């Protein structure tokens, strides 16, 4: 999985110049944005379905009969995600010297939580625990053993955490995806805010990814239990499953949105970047193996084809079915 991530990102840089910035590729980022806002809030219990999220974010309309707080949860997260995506590394630029600041941590939380907090604040919050401010309450240990520190220790723990974030690009023998998994789990362990730590943690993970030139990750609602288990295992010193989830998330958005939009019709790309509602990745791979789809088996073990060849294959398939 790590080899595939490294190969895909290297190809993005070498052949397409890097991750296209949101200002130049609005449609690409918009699709990721909607998925991210839907799934990240759904993981926390939000019940809006996909089309309700789309109507809210694209049209500003609250469709359905959900509680107002649920619409505001999605709006807040989407506002914060827009800001995060705006930090994406532009092609040809180096990552910033400071990957993440404490002010930005607070800002992400403030953006994500303010809309819902304004109408339904946390019932135990005091005035000093509003969005963007650290908690002044202790939090009981979570099922599985993750135990947040006592609230007086939060500022110091966050400074230590930011030091670890700053060192994420330092080669310590572990893959970047594993280092990201460790800092993501560490943030959730600190749990610096009274509420919204899960959403903020995923936003900050994506902020770091975007600043390093990677696409953001969307953890799907269906993977909630696996994701929470992976966080617990990473907290216990085994980040393998969580780092694999992050790596798969990077590849998913790279192949689903970025590569198809920036590649020319004749450019060879992984089959996952050519899949659609009409034909799945598995079907394309089967066609390539059987010789029905023009494709190249690359040194990294992946089959690659292009949009022209896929269109040609689909046309011939329609002819076979019609005859």
- Which of 88-97, 234-243, 276-285 comes out lowest in average pLDDT? 88-97
Q: Quote the mean pLDDT of the chain.
A: 91
pLDDT digits over 118-148, tens only? 999 999 999 999 999 999 999 999 887 789 9
263 vs 116, higher pLDDT = 116
Which one, of 235, 202, 240, lies nearest residue 221 by Cα?
202
Q: Which residues of 46-71 are buried (b: 16+ CB within 10 A; e: fewer)?
A: bebeeebbbbbbeeeebeeebeeebb
Phi, psi of 234 (to 5 degrees): -65, -40
Identify the helix (H) or strand (E) that includes residue 269: strand 269-270
Mean pLDDT of the 182-197 span: 97
pTM of the model: 0.87
Which one, of 72, 78, 135, lies nearest residue 108 by Cα?
78
What percentage of the chain reaches a pLDDT higher than 90?
Answer: 67
Question: CA dist 316 to 61, 285, 303, Å?
Answer: 43, 16, 20
- At 302 the pLDDT is 82
Residue 303 burial class via C-beta count within 10 angstroms: exposed 0-12, middle 13-18, buried 19 and up: buried
Taking the alpha carbons of 27, 31, 32, 36 in that order, is the dihedral positive or negative?
A: positive
Question: What would you measure as the largest C-alpha separation in the chain, in angstroms?
Answer: 74
Mean pLDDT of the 236-242 span: 95
Which pLDDT band holds residue 57 (cuts at 50, 70, 90)?
Answer: very high
Which pLDDT band holds residue 111 (cuts at 50, 70, 90)?
Answer: very high
Which pLDDT band holds residue 323 (cuts at 50, 70, 90)?
Answer: low
Residue 15 scores a pLDDT above 80: no
The Cα–Cα gap between 126 and 136 comes to 8
Taking the alpha carbons of 204, 207, 209, 215 in that order, is the dihedral positive or negative?
A: positive
- At 124 the pLDDT is 92
Which pLDDT band holds residue 83 (cuts at 50, 70, 90)?
Answer: very high
**Helices of type H across 129-239:** 154-166, 176-190, 197-211, 224-235
The answer to whether residues 130 and 118 touch, using CB atoms and an 8 Å cutoff, is no
Mean pLDDT of the 40-45 span: 97
Which pLDDT band holds residue 7 (cuts at 50, 70, 90)?
Answer: confident
Residue 23 scores a pLDDT above 90: no
- At 200 the pLDDT is 98
Q: HSE-up of 146 (CA within 13 Å, CB side)?
A: 19
- At 211 the pLDDT is 93
- At 25 the pLDDT is 73
- CATH code that applies to domain 2-262: 1.10.3290.10
- At 17 the pLDDT is 77
DSSP class of residue 140? Answer: P
Tokens (6 digits) for 98: 């400071």
Which one, of 245, 250, 215, lies nearest residue 228 by Cα?
245
Mean pLDDT of the 219-225 span: 95
Strand partners, 276: none
């Amino acid at each position: 999985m790590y080899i595939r991530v490294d190969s895909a990102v290297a190809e993005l840089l070498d052949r397409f110049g890097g991750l296209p910035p949101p200002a130049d590729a609005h449609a690409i980022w918009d699709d990721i944005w909607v998925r991210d806002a839907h799934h990240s809030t759904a993981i926390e219990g939000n019940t809006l379905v996909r089309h309700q999220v789309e109507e809210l974010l694209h049209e500003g309309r609250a469709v359905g009969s959900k509680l107002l707080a649920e619409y505001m949860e999605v709006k807040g997260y989407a506002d914060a995600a827009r800001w995060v995506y705006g930090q994406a590394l532009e092609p040809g630029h180096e990552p910033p010297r400071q990957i993440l600041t404490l002010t930005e941590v607070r800002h992400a939380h403030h953006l994500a939580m303010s809309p819902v907090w304004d109408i339904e604040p946390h019932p135990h919050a005091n005035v000093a625990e509003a969005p963007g401010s650290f908690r002044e309450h202790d939090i009981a240990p979570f099922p599985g053993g993750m135990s947040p520190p006592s609230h007086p220790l939060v500022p110091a723990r966050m400074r230590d955490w930011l030091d670890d974030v700053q060192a994420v690009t330092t080669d310590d023998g572990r893959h970047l995806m594993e280092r990201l998994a460790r800092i993501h789990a560490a943030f959730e362990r600190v749990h610096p805010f009274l509420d919204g730590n899960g959403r903020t943690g995923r936003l900050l993970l994506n902020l770091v990814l975007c600043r390093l030139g990677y696409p953001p990750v969307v953890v799907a609602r269906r993977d909630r239990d696996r994701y929470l288990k992976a966080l617990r295992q990473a907290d216990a010193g085994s980040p393998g499953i969580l780092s694999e989830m992050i790596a798969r998330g990077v590849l998913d958005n790279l192949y689903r949105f970025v590569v198809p939009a920036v590649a020319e019709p004749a450019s060879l790309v992984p089959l996952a970047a050519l899949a659609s509602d009409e034909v799945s990745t598995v079907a394309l791979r089967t066609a390539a193996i059987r010789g029905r789809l023009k494709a190249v088996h690359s040194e990294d073990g992946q089959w690659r084809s292009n949009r022209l060849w896929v269109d040609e294959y689909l046309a011939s398939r329609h002819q076979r079915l019609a005859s």
